[in-house]
Amino acid sequence: MPLARDSNILGWVLVGAVVGLFGGLIAAHLTDQAMCPHAILGPCSTLTSRGRTEIVGLGIVVGAIVGRLFARARHRRG
């Protein structure tokens, strides 16, 4: 039984990480557009590659943590 519970938790962590990845990508895109005063005229590269990587990485970590907390709450409820 513990193996099934561990795989269930791992599944939720992975789902959270994937959702966090997409959230981070969207946040990086929106941040880049917000920082560019002439975004309507074309793409602007004011956000560095490292900045984008940090935003996406943070999204993955936060998503994984939320997924783990969600799995734990579901397990407690039965």
Question: pLDDT by residue (tens digit) across 6-65?
Answer: 677 888 888 999 998 888 888 877 776 665 555 555 555 566 777 778 888 888 899 998
Q: Which residue has the higher pLDDT, 68 or 49?
A: 68
CA 56 to CA 5: how far, in whole Å? Answer: 28
What's residue 2's pLDDT?
A: 56
Predicted local confidence at residue 42, as pLDDT: 56
pLDDT at 1: 43
